[in-house]
Structure 1
Amino acid sequence: MVTQFEASINCIVDVFHNVSLQAGHPHALSRKGLETLIKKEVPELLTDPKNPKTAEDFMKEVDSNKDGMMNFEEFLFWITRLAVDAHDASHKE
């Protein structure tokens, strides 16, 4: 039986691959791929009036090897930042 935590990890991998494989690159997202992922999975990130950002902004923040792509490790770093923000927000409500 898969636990909720294991299912969450599998979901993160699946979300990444659903976009990266469409672009023909199983190990990285382009800026366009990241934009597609954001629009589908977390659209409020691009419409937050308090913190307006674009996919390009997110890419620049986490593209540690400066190759213009977001590999899976960089994606996990980005997801971690989103999770920390969500956790912080849950304590403000």
Structure 2
Amino acid sequence: MTSQLESAMEGLIKVFHSYSSKEGDKYKLSKAEMKSLLQGELSEFLAGSSDPLVVEKIMRDLDENQDGEVDFQEFVVLVAALTVACNEFFIQSQLK
């Protein structure tokens, strides 16, 4: 039986590769693939931003090796940062 954490990890991997395999290097997200992933999987987070360049800024921040693409390791940094932010929000809402 798979644990919740194992299922979550598998889900992250599957989501990444379902978007990264659409064009170019199938193991990296192009800017277009990253935008599609953010719109398809994290639309609530994007909706909270009024910045029209939010995808470009996220891409620039994640692309540590400056190759114009986001690999799985760089993608996990985004997921971890968003998860930490959600946890902090959860804790703050519990204190009220």
Structure 1 stretches of 5 or more lacking a match? Answer: none
Identity over aligned pairs, percent:
27
Per the TM alignment, residue 24 of structure 1 is displaced from its structure 2 partner at its CA by 4.2
What CA distance in whole angstroms lies between the structure 2 residues aligned with 1:23 and 1:2?
31
Q: 2:30 touches 2:68 (CA, 8 Å); kept in 1? A: yes
Q: For the pair shown, which has the larger CA radius of gyration, 1 or 2? A: 2
Once the two structures are superposed, residues 52-90 of structure 1 have per-residue CA deviations (whole angstroms, 9 ceiling, x without a partner) of 462111111111000110011100111111111111111
Structure 2 stretches of 5 or more lacking a match? Answer: none
Question: Which shows bigger deviation, 21-30 or 37-46?
Answer: 21-30
Q: 2:35 touches 2:55 (CA, 8 Å); kept in 1? A: yes
TM score, norm. by length of structure 2: 0.87
TM score, norm. by length of structure 1: 0.90
Correspondence for 1:18:
18
What CA distance in whole angstroms lies between the structure 2 residues aligned with 1:36 and 1:54?
13
